Structure 1
Amino acid sequence: MKIERLGQDKIRIFLTFDDLLERGIQKEDMWREPPKLHDLFSEMMEQAYNELGFEAIGPLAVEVFAMPAQGMIVIVTRGRSSRDDQLLEEDLDEELYEMEVTMEQSDIIMYAFADFEDIVSVSKQFKSSGLTNSGRLYSYNEKWILVFEPDSIELNSHHAIIALLAEYGEATSVTYAMLEEYGKIIIADEAVQQINQHFTF
């Protein structure tokens, strides 16, 4: 579980599928098991407090982005409440938050790479395995991010593509909307094919 602060009242939590499995949560449970998710959310809020001093008090807006290739991103935004300044120490053990939850699912595959050489290597592997020539390449926060739309990938090669991406890169906690807004597009179409054409060694 990775937690980062996006602002004074906003944090982002990234959980891989391994994180979820460790807690007994399957991918399907994210949509139909409120008690398990409630326990998970309590654990996330406790870790956010311990690591960042972020208190889950008052109204919270919770956005959950489920991404089959990467895991789950949870963005928590704390609203202001008139109770904020009146809380007593003994109240902290009680549940003090009201949640408004928005859930979205995205089949877009996104993996981040620290070095451009890793992008070249994974592209070569795609070519030799006959997997894909598609994809878009972005630059974001000093990392390279390869993005694949689900309709550009054959169903039977989905797992092989994710396995190769995971070998050279890492699942990213950035949402696609954030990447579109703040990332810089380097190769807009057929990124794998173009990399293979221009980088040979």
Structure 2
Amino acid sequence: MHVERLAKDKVRIFVSYDDLEERGIDRDEIWLNGKKVQELFWDMMETAYAEVGFEIAGPIAVEAFTMPSEGVVIIVTRVPSLPGHGRTADDDDAMDVELSDTMFSSFVFSFPDFEDVVRVSYALYDYDIHTSLYQYNGKYQLFVDEDSVQEDEYDSIWSILHEYGEYSEVTTAVLEEYGKCILRSNAVQHIVMQFPL
């Protein structure tokens, strides 16, 4: 388990499949929100507090992303309480966190140069995946709909994306709100057709 502080109110936690196996949790079981998963979550929060001083004080948002051969990335964000809706310590003790409700069926990779986007598009062209392209934070962000990825092609697609870009923790909601949408759908196919290598 590895914890990284992303901002004052946000941490990223990487849990390897070996970590899950040691706890007797199957890969698919992590989305079922059983007792073992609840225990894992609170262990993660204890580790986050011990390593980077991140403490839960009120409501939180949890996003979880699967990485095909490495493990699970979990991003925990403290959300400001609405007036009159604050939590007490007793509420925190009783709080249930359901990862299954917060999992996003997508992932995003960022690329500093458009040339990298063109190269990765050619490498991904033969895969029938749904993609969108955004510009955000001075980089190109390629959104991949995870539901469109065939299970036996997952590792190959992930490796190709890693070769040309880097995994981005930005969510599609942020891209829609603050980013500039360049290609809404079939981004890979459009780029290959319009930009010859």
* TM-score between both structures, scaled by the size of structure 2: 0.69
Equivalence for 1:112? 110
| Correspondences of 1:180-195 after superposition (within 5 Å) | 180-195=176-191
Please say if residues 11 and 54 of structure 2, whose CA atoms lie closer than 8 Å, have aligned partners that are also in contact.
no
The question of 1:61 aligning with 2:22 is answered: no
From 99, 107, 110, the counterpart of 2:95: 99
Q: Secondary structure at the match of 1:101?
A: coil
Equivalence for 1:28? 28
Please say if residues 137 and 145 of structure 1, whose CA atoms lie closer than 8 Å, have aligned partners that are also in contact.
yes
Bigger radius of gyration among the two? 1
Counterpart of 1:177, as a letter, is: A
Unaligned runs of 5+ in 1: 84-95
Partner deviation per Cα, 1:103-130 (whole Å, 9 max, x = no partner): 3233223222233222111112123xx2
Cα distance in 2, alignment partners of residues 73 and 195 from structure 1: 31
Cα distance in 2, alignment partners of residues 190 and 39 from structure 1: 38
Per the alignment, do residues 45 and 4 of structure 1 end up closer, same or farther by CA in structure 2, a change over 3 Å counting?
Answer: farther
Equivalence for 2:136? 140
Partner deviation per Cα, 1:49-105 (whole Å, 9 max, x = no partner): 643x43334xx323333333473333232655677xxxxxxxxxxxx7553424323
Please say if residues 129 and 145 of structure 2, whose CA atoms lie closer than 8 Å, have aligned partners that are also in contact.
no
Please say if residues 69 and 107 of structure 1, whose CA atoms lie closer than 8 Å, have aligned partners that are also in contact.
no
Please say if residues 56 and 97 of structure 1, whose CA atoms lie closer than 8 Å, have aligned partners that are also in contact.
no
Counterpart of 1:4, as a letter, is: L
Please report the RMSD computed on the Cα atoms of aligned residues, expressed in angstroms.
3.2
The question of 1:2 aligning with 2:4 is answered: yes
Cα distance in 1, alignment partners of residues 16 and 189 from structure 2: 34
Unaligned runs of 5+ in 2: none
| Correspondences of 1:38-57 after superposition (within 5 Å) | 38-48=39-49, 50-51=51-52, 53-57=53-57
Identity %: 26
Counterpart of 2:109, as a letter, is: Y
